[in-house]
Amino acid sequence: MVTNLEALKERIDIIEVLSKYLPLRKSGVNYTCNCPFHQERSPSFIISPQKQIYHCFGCGASGDAIKFLQEYKKLSFEEALEEIANDVNFTLIKTQAKPQYKGYEALKSLNDIFKEHLRAKENEKIMQYLFNRGLELEDLESFDIGLCPNTLPTEYKKELVELAIMYENNKSPFSNRITFGLRNATHKIVGFSARIHPYVNFINTAKYINSKESRIFNKSQILYNLSKARSEIVKQKSVYVVEGFMDCIALYKMGVRNCVATCGTAFNTHHLSNINRLKEDIHINLCFDNDEAGLMASKRALELLINQGFFNCSLSFLSGGFKDIGEILQKKAELQFKNIDGFSYFCLNGIKTAQTPKEKEQHINKIKAIIARQSNFYLKEELIAKAIDMLNLSPSFFTQSSKNNKNTSLEQSLLKTLLLDESLIEITLNCLDNEDLGEYAQDYESFVFKKVLTQKARDILLDESISTIPFAKFKHCVLELKRRYYKLQIEKAKAKRDIDSLILYTTKMHEFF
């Protein structure tokens, strides 16, 4: 039992914890993203740094940072506490202390053994094989490149067997393979990837094998070289994402220091969150292999970025007919990219690959829906301009519906904005009465005064066609809603020839405005 749990909770920042796994976006005083616990296209997952909780208005998932780790990583309560405590350098006090976990220590030792073994005289041919691919001696140390011996020392046997890196007979699944140490965001070795080479007869085996998933390693969450490239990524506000280790190393050696690799997995939301938490609005350059598989990987990664609302991205294609970046380094050729804006490529490629008129219409409507979901006026205008340029469409195609909805959906937009950012409630309380929300008066009152979501409010949250109001325009929209209410009451009073009401609301309108 942990006796200093409350002290740990005071140290926890829920944004720091969740941003390791999710691509969070600032929304007023809160943060939002697509819910990780159910499929959705529009963000309804809200994180409150003030209350240190998360809540999904779509599926109802909610809790604190500890509960999130339990649900997201399928950890026990104790395991979640240990992981968070390790991240914030906090020592848990337990009534019965368990032996300190030595997994990280074991992997660090093993990484040193691999690097030393590669430099042994009997492995000169393997060293030369790496040198022939453009690497130098210092690269082997800098990028944690080594060679796994046929058998491993037994100092950390218990931990290495648990991590599936060592068998009971002291051999390893990586035996005789070239190894790449994989580090997490805090620069700790958490696993290995190991590849074959020409000087051992590897029969019927994969080119690369990786550490098994464990309490400290999840391949889909690792970006190779991130801890080394972190400062350069932040400095340049840009990152190059490549497929393999050798591509990343080659790019780094050719002067592009803000590069990471996906370790052979598809680019995913874990990777995106790892990048996004370094600094907001980092430009993401997708630079995968110049073959069919690489192009498909680029398209899938691009779609993920756009669906998550990350439009500051591009596709970087290699010039000169090279298959990958590693080949450029090996041949000592000049590195040249052809960069294409991500959203522009997304728009045009979808039309080019559509087989039927129906598929083309679906793609255009998808683009329209993506643009409509954006609450930032300037971003929306920029995306419309790119779509018009790529698809040769009229601007009215993207703006018609929003113009038609301006008068009829202001109440919905205002209510949705309040649901996503409670800090704005004070503005409405100073200006609005319940009846100003018209048919949504009861839903507004229920949320603002009782903290209860009606079904109609839930529907508004999940309706992608209803946009939110930017903070800079929120008070103006509140006043506009008040003005409309008074104007409506004045019109009603005129129609009924109700002089008293006409004078009352006319006076109120003049006093208010």
**Any domain includes 505:** yes
Please check whether residues 297 and 399 belong to one and the same domain.
Answer: no
Please check whether residues 330 and 368 belong to one and the same domain.
Answer: no
**Any domain includes 460:** yes
**Any domain includes 97:** no
Q: Which two tokens stand for residue 355?
A: 């087989």
Please check whether residues 128 and 195 belong to one and the same domain.
Answer: yes
Range of the domain at 22: 5-87
Q: What is the mean pLDDT of each run of 10 residues along the chain (513 residues)?
A: 84 91 86 87 86 87 91 85 88 74 93 96 95 94 96 94 95 96 91 95 91 91 92 94 93 95 88 87 92 91 91 93 89 92 95 90 89 83 92 79 49 88 83 86 89 87 80 84 87 83 80 70
Do 107 and 189 touch, CB atoms closer than 8 A?
yes
**Strand-pair partners of 501:** none
**Non-local CB neighbours of 173 within 8 Å, separated by 6+ positions:** 164, 165, 167, 194, 209
- Tokens 């130098």 locate to 136
In the chain, the percentage of residues whose pLDDT exceeds 70 is 97
- The secondary structure of 420-454 as a DSSP string is H-GGGHHHHHHH--GGGGGGGHHHHHHHHHH----
Please check whether residues 331 and 369 belong to one and the same domain.
Answer: no
Domain boundary among 56, 87, 118: 87
Q: Can you give the pLDDT at residue 375?
A: 74
**Any domain includes 95:** no
Please check whether residues 333 and 385 belong to one and the same domain.
Answer: no
Please check whether residues 125 and 203 belong to one and the same domain.
Answer: yes
pTM of the shown model: 0.66
Q: Can you give the pLDDT at residue 400?
A: 61
To which H or E segment does residue 240 belong? strand 238-242
Sheet arrangement for strand 283-286: 259-261, 238-242, 283-286, 313-318, 337-341
Q: Domain of 38: which CATH number?
A: 3.90.580.10
Q: Which two tokens stand for residue 421?
A: 């950012």
DSSP state of 20: T
Please check whether residues 127 and 213 belong to one and the same domain.
Answer: yes
- What domain count does the chain have? 5
CA dihedral 244, 248, 251, 253 (to 10 degrees): -130
**In 2-148, beta strands by DSSP E:** 25-27, 30-33, 45-48, 53-56, 62-63, 145-147
Please check whether residues 303 and 231 belong to one and the same domain.
Answer: yes
pLDDT digits (tens, 9 = 90+) for 331-366: 989 999 999 999 999 999 999 998 898 899 889 989
Q: Domain of 420: which CATH number?
A: 1.10.860.10
Domain boundary among 303, 324, 350: 350
The rounded Cα 297 to chain-centroid distance in angstroms is: 17
Please check whether residues 244 and 336 belong to one and the same domain.
Answer: yes
pLDDT digits (tens, 9 = 90+) for 446-481: 988 888 889 888 888 877 778 888 877 888 888 888
Please check whether residues 79 and 189 belong to one and the same domain.
Answer: no
Domain boundary among 373, 406, 439: 406
Handedness of CA 92, 97, 102, 105 (dihedral sign): positive
Q: Can you give the pLDDT at residue 404?
A: 40
Q: Which two tokens stand for residue 251?
A: 């790019």
CA-CA distance, 456 to 387, in Å (whole number)? 33
**Any domain includes 92:** no
Please check whether residues 16 and 65 belong to one and the same domain.
Answer: yes
- The secondary structure of 131-144 as a DSSP string is HHTT--HHHHHHTT
Q: β-strands 208-210, 189-195: how paired?
A: antiparallel
Q: Which two tokens stand for residue 494?
A: 């005129």
